Structure formats: structure tokens, C-alpha cells
Amino acid sequence: MGSLDDMARAKLADLESRRLRRRFVETDRRAGAYVERGGRTLVSFCCNDYLNLGHDPRVIKAAQQALEVAGAGSGASRLVTGNHSLFRELEGRLARLKQADDCVVFGSGYLANLGIIPTLMQAGDLILADELSHACLLAGTHLSGAKTFRFRHNDLDHLKTLLEEHRGQARHCLIVTDGVFSMDGDLAPVNEMAELAKAHDAWFMTDDAHGIGVLGEGRGSSFLQSEKAAVSLQMGTLSKAIGSYGGYLCASQPVIDLIRTRARTLIYSTGLPPASVAASIAALDIIEAEPDYAKRPVEKARRFTRALNLAEAQSPIVPLVLGEPEVALKASTFLEEQGFLVTAIRPPTVPEGTARLRFTFTAQHKDADIDRLADLVRSHVLTRAAAE
């Protein structure tokens, strides 16, 4: 028959047979690092709310106040009537934090990348992207129509070779990478990449979704060395350590002015709810006032990697690659039975054969919980993975 439903059922059956079907599981987050699922309270080691600011009373109060005065939604695109005055405050705060001229806030990080890249790059241009870049960086790249090559993960030599081979034929060239890799937790060599970009007349963009709030005193991965990395396009999200929702780009004045007037995901999409914007501002207040608090997620992650003799964590994200989806799913189910929520990450989010547990650490995780989790991983997950 070839009906729509038959097509959907056939695709689902195929995914099911390869253990790649995904389902929503109702999960209610609570203050701290706790969640409720299926009537049980679990300690979550898979939220990106690294500073637990989503439940911070100061953040909630700021959101409530904005909600009561400005309402639940923003009513229109920011270029029509959706540009509540809180947006200007948030953009000014982010620009200051990132030491950029200006900033523009989008509806989400995904929307930001889909808007920024095609505004800057077109056919005739060249984009070089780390092969493990987040799906939305690659989607923005694809949408732009620019010729694109992926360089091997964090491989400066490969990037240099591609620049030498292809830069000459292109009008403009953009290098893009995650600052902190979302599924691996390692860091891009941003200072070195910025130098390569400069030497080859290329522009440089980092997606710092997992860096803002937790690295470089909360400023992100451009600020890890004594000298700020020359990243002309600093993109990120407000949905992780900032605890709220939205995406941003910090850059020079002309670039931000161009994005404001041309990025389609900004122009043709409704502005964020004012309460989300207010929550982000309150979260930035806390991060700027308490730089030691911003260090805690990485410290907690290091407690875990030390306990298991893994490579020292560079960010709040610690992967444990297990191989086949089935193995990762079993390990996740086992940990959930023990009271820990650690979602299995499977292809296509990660490359084939690298299904994994992805642990994320937050400021308010209790050391005793981290130690118990490490014990369980050592005694049950690692030994079983080795036996299979």
C-alpha cells in the first residue's frame, strides 16, 4: 500500500531491531540533582544543568516576577513586538562576560546555529568542521550551501592540510568546532585553532554550549589560557549551565548587526518568553558573583575519574564508551535499578560502535553519591563490558 502509517511502522521496526528506537520517559526534575521517574527518586547524572541553577530560588524568583509583569509568552518575533527590554540587558551581560562588542539571543542553541552559519556563509565559501561537532553546527553548515569538509577530531595537522588544499579556491572560510565536546567531554585546542584560522585568513566559531558557566571562571572555553583565544564567533546556549533556555552569539558589532537583520531563525521565530530571559540574567548574576561555585562541576567530575582511574575530566562530562547499543542500554538499566539515572547514548548521536554512558556532574552532587556510583561502575559495568 505504501501508506504513511506503513512507512512509519517499517522504519520503527527497523530501528527497534537495531536497538536504536528512542522513547520519551516521563521524568520530573527536582531541586539539586534529583529526578522522579516511575514513582522513584533517582540521582541524575545526565542533566546539563551543571550549576543546578534551574531550581535556584533566586533564578525562580526572577522568572516569576517577569512572568507576572510580562506574561507567559513574548507575542511575536523580536523584530515585531517580541523584544522585551530584558533582552537588551541579557545581551549586554553576555557580551561583557565573553568580552565581545555585542551579543544576540536566539530561541535556542539549535536555532542559533541554523541562523548564524547560513547568514555568514554561502555557495563559493568553505567550512571546515571538527568531525564530532554537534548536530546543529553540522545542520547549519549544510543549510548554508558552502563547501564543507570535516577534519579529524581535534587534529590540528589535518585542519592545516585542509586549509592548505582548499582555502585558496574559496571566497570566505569558516572553521567551526564545539569548545567542549558534548558527548566526549574533551576540549578543542581553541587557542591553536584561532592561530591557524588567522594564518589562513579564515574565521573561527566555537559552540560553547557546555563551556559557559563552568570553564574559565564561567566565561567558557575561550578563557582557559592566560590569553583569551581569538574566537571571532562565540556561540552557546542558555539551556545548560545557565539553567534556562535560549541560544546566543557574541561577536563584533557589524556581525551582530548583520545577524539581527538577516538570520532567518531569529526573524521568523517568536522571541523567548520574558521569564526565560529573566532567569538567564539571574543565573549570570550568580555565576559572576561566585566564581568558585562555577568550578564545582569539573571538580565533581574529577572525583569520579580519579576513583575509576580514567583520564582526568576536563569538563563536567565523562564518557564511558561501551560499544554496542545493547551493552550501553543494559548498563543504564542496571544503574537505574540502583538509584542512578545515566542515559545510554547511541548512534546517530555518537559514531557507530561507540554507544556509551555519558555521565554529567553538577555542583550539588553529593560526594557520597559519586563514590557509590563509581563503585557500581567498577564492580558491574566495567567488568561486564570487559567480559562481553
Ligand X SMILES: *Cc1c(COP(=O)(O)O)cnc(C)c1O
Q: Which positions touch ligand X (CB under 6 A)?
A: 108-110, 134, 136, 178, 182, 207, 209-210, 237, 239, 247
In angstroms, what is the minimal distance from the CB of 317 to ligand X?
9
Output the nine-digit C-alpha cell for 359.
555521565
- How many CB atoms sit inside 10 A of residue 161's CB? 14
In angstroms, what is the minimal distance from the CB of 219 to ligand X?
17
Could you tell me if 117 and 140 are in contact, meaning their C-beta atoms sit under 8 angstroms apart? yes
Which residue lies nearer to ligand X by CB, 136 or 335?
136
In angstroms, what is the minimal distance from the CB of 180 to ligand X?
8
In angstroms, what is the minimal distance from the CB of 350 to ligand X?
13
For 39-44, which contacts have Cβ atoms below 8 Å and span 24 or more sequence positions?
Answer: 40/339, 41/339, 42/336, 42/339, 42/340, 42/341, 43/339, 43/340, 43/341, 43/365, 43/366, 43/369, 43/373, 44/340, 44/341
Which residue lies nearer to ligand X by CB, 110 or 223?
110
Which residue lies nearer to ligand X by CB, 110 or 293?
110
How far is the C-alpha of 135 from the C-alpha of 142, rounded, in Å? 10
Tell me the CA end-to-end span of the chain in Å, nearest whole number. 42
Cβ contacts of residue 54 below 8 Å, gap of 6+?
29, 243, 244
Which residue lies nearer to ligand X by CB, 134 or 200?
134
Which residue lies nearer to ligand X by CB, 84 or 134?
134
Instruction: Please give the backbone phi and psi of residue 322, each rounded to the nearest 5 degrees, phi first.
Output: -115, -15
Output the nine-digit C-alpha cell for 82.
517580541
In angstroms, what is the minimal distance from the CB of 2 to ligand X?
34
Which residue lies nearer to ligand X by CB, 239 or 280?
239
Which of 135, 287, 151 has its CA nearest to residue 223? Answer: 287
The residue type of 156 is L
Which residue lies nearer to ligand X by CB, 91 or 178?
178
Query: Active-site residues: which are they?
Result: 182, 210, 240
Could you tell me if 242 and 276 are in contact, meaning their C-beta atoms sit under 8 angstroms apart? no
In angstroms, what is the minimal distance from the CB of 332 to ligand X?
19
CB-based closest residue to ligand X: 109
Could you tell me if 92 and 103 are in contact, meaning their C-beta atoms sit under 8 angstroms apart? yes
Could you tell me if 197 and 130 are in contact, meaning their C-beta atoms sit under 8 angstroms apart? no
Could you tell me if 179 and 210 are in contact, meaning their C-beta atoms sit under 8 angstroms apart? yes
In angstroms, what is the minimal distance from the CB of 136 to ligand X?
5
